[in-house]
Structure 1
Amino acid sequence: MEYSFDFGAMWEYRWVFAKSIWLTVELSVLAIILGTVLGVIMGAGRAIEPRSWLMRSVWGASTVYVYLQLAIPALVLLVWMYYCLPLMGIHISGFWTAVIALGTNLSPFAAEIFRSSLRNMPRGEMQAASAMGYTPVQIFLYFSVPHFVRNSIPPLMGQYYTTLKMSSLASVIGVFEIINTAQEVINQTYKTIEVYTMVALCYAIVVIPFAILAKRYEDRVFVVRN
């Protein structure tokens, strides 16, 4: 049977796809925020020197968390949370389950990036600033924070791209992001090629502006360093 390609048929579903794009962006941004916050906390815990009992406990807990989350695939975590938590009396919507699962999946990668950045602080620069009369607060704000941001953001961008694209996993638990919406449109139109072409365009709309902003930021960091 000859297939009749008609991309114009997608025009009728433009607002359906627009809504799915917005939900995908919302889900991804919330997951990125959660993953970054958890990453900062765990990265700081991993970066401390385990000299005292308390510090060893913090370092140990952070390390166990990071390696455990690195070992668990995002899809496994997502499905486990969605189906197992209700059995324990914890009920979370599919949307927030996806946010928590994807944010948790991002966090160990962010933690290792932050740990590396914290460990590589230029001690000589900090000591020179102290010798010039800067207060500890000024050193933190003017030297530590900019160095931390410059070294952390570029590698984080790659992880953020991954989280954006992994938002498609939310379709497994019934969240109407782009992939799940596409399946519903296919069920109504039987236009498989057109719908999945539309899916590709939707992800391009989401990811390309983010990639352009990330590239501009990286270019600015490179200019500042040089």
Structure 2
Amino acid sequence: MNFFETFLNWEVILRIYPMLMKGIGNTVALALTIIIAGGIAGVLICLFRLYGPKWLRWLAIVYIDVFRAIPILVLLVLIYYALPFLGIRLNGFASATLALGLVFSSFTAEVFRAGIQAIPKGQTEASEALGLSFGVTIWKVILPQAFRIAIPPHTSNAVAIAKDTSLASVVAMPDLLKQATDAQALTANPSPLIAAAIMYLIVLLPAVRLVSYLEERFRNDGKAA
């Protein structure tokens, strides 16, 4: 067999195409769930760390440090295989969402903390002088400015966590990599893995370019200001 018959066998790829499409659909759904849920949780944890009572601030710090330090694969295995011993059973999708969401939320919290702390204190003082409540100040004054600062690194983290969804295959989540691996075993040919790699590139390359665009745009906005 030549190179193309081994690694780019179109007959094999067309045969297992439905499996790959199911896998890419699951991968995109998993990534979007993690990014949305983890992003919201991360912003809340950031606010707890900065403005909560002392015990809540320390709890947020521990949360952030632990889940930024623990390898995602280890966390996946613990959630999927250890929690059933405590009477908690999660399927592959829920396990992957929880594991990657915990990690993503911890990084999101740090990104937004840096964004909030980069805002001059005079903004908060001016809001207090105008009689705005704490909640209104955070929602209307602080967070909009923090978002502008945090969006480029946050988007970069989102792309990174989208790539890490490939680890979900270890917990029987039928994502793109798992489907490609199964297809390879069925066909005894590595072409499904090459096809999966191409599909990852098609989905993630625009996201990578978006990160570069946002970084350049906000850098120029900062110089203009």
Deviations 1:99-136 (A, max 9, x none): 110001112211111111222222234545777x6856
What TM-score do you get using the length of structure 1 for normalisation?
Answer: 0.85
Deviation at residue 191 of structure 1 after TM alignment: 1.7
| Structure 2, gaps ≥5 residues long | none
Identity of aligned residues (%): 30
- What is the RMSD computed on CA atoms of the aligned residues? 2.4
Of 6, 9, 13, the match for 1:7: 9
SS of the residue aligned with 1:107?
A: helix
Distance in 1 (CA, whole Å) between partners of 2:181 and 2:84 is: 26
| Matching of residues 35-46 of structure 1 within 5 Å | 35-46=38-49
**1:160 is the counterpart of 2:158:** yes
SS of the residue aligned with 1:196?
A: helix
Of 198, 201, 213, the match for 1:201: 198
2:25 equivalent in structure 1 = 22
Distance in 1 (CA, whole Å) between partners of 2:131 and 2:210 is: 33
| Structure 1, gaps ≥5 residues long | 49-53
Pairs aligned (count): 219
For 1:72, the aligned partner's letter is I
Distance in 2 (CA, whole Å) between partners of 1:2 and 1:224 is: 52
Deviation at residue 140 of structure 1 after TM alignment: 5.0
After superposing on structure 2, the runs of 4+ consecutive aligned residues of structure 1 that deviate more than 6 Å are none
Deviation at residue 7 of structure 1 after TM alignment: 2.8
Distance in 1 (CA, whole Å) between partners of 2:99 and 2:207 is: 22
For 1:203, the aligned partner's letter is Y
SS of the residue aligned with 2:88?
A: coil
What TM-score do you get using the length of structure 2 for normalisation?
Answer: 0.86
Deviations 1:81-116 (A, max 9, x none): 101111111111111110110001112211111111
SS of the residue aligned with 2:53?
A: helix
1:51 equivalent in structure 2 = none
